[in-house]
Amino acid sequence: MRWQRLEWAIASCVAGWAVARLAAADRVGPLEPVAVPLLSFTPQATVGAGLTALVLRGKGPSATAALAAGALAAAVAPRVVPRRQPAARGPVLKVLTVNLLVGQAAGPELVELVRQSGTDVLFLQELTEDAVARLKQAGLSEMLPNEMLDIEGYRYRGSGIYARYPLQAGLAIGPSYASQPTARLDLPSGQHVELVCVHPHPPSPPWYLPAAPRWRMELAALPPPADPGDPPVVLAGDFNATLDHAQFRRFLRLGFVDAASQVGHGLSPTWGPEPHGRPAMLAFDHVLLDPRCAVLGTSVHRLPGSDHQALYAEFRLPA
pLDDT digits (tens, 9 = 90+) for 221-249: 999 888 888 999 999 999 999 999 999 99
Query: Is pLDDT of 312 > 70?
Result: yes
**Smallest Cα–Cα separation from 253: which of 220, 286, 217, 215?**
220
**For 55-89, how does the pLDDT look when each residue is reduced to its tens digit (9 = 90+)?**
888 888 899 999 999 999 999 999 999 999 999 89
Place 254 in a pLDDT band, splitting at 50, 70 and 90.
very high
* φ, ψ of residue 124 in degrees (nearest 5): -125, 130
Helices 2-22 and 59-76: crossing angle in degrees, nearest 10, is 20
Range of weakest confidence among 63-77, 109-123, 205-219, 283-297: 205-219
Query: Is pLDDT of 161 > 90?
Result: yes
Q: pTM score, two decimals?
A: 0.94
Place 273 in a pLDDT band, splitting at 50, 70 and 90.
confident
> Tell me, what's the pLDDT at 1?
62
Query: Is pLDDT of 156 > 90?
Result: no
Q: Which one has a higher pLDDT value, 199 or 59?
A: 199
Query: Is pLDDT of 275 > 70?
Result: no
Query: Is pLDDT of 180 > 70?
Result: yes
- Calculate the average pLDDT of the chain: 92
CA atoms within 13 A on the CB side of 306: 28
Q: How far apart are CA 294 and CA 317, in angstroms?
A: 7
Compute how many other C-beta atoms are within 10 angstroms of the C-beta atom of residue 187: 18
> Tell me, what's the pLDDT at 276?
62
Range of weakest confidence among 33-37, 160-164, 190-194, 228-232: 228-232
Query: Is pLDDT of 5 > 90?
Result: no
Give percent above pLDDT 70 in the chain. 97
Place 278 in a pLDDT band, splitting at 50, 70 and 90.
low
Query: Is pLDDT of 29 > 70?
Result: yes
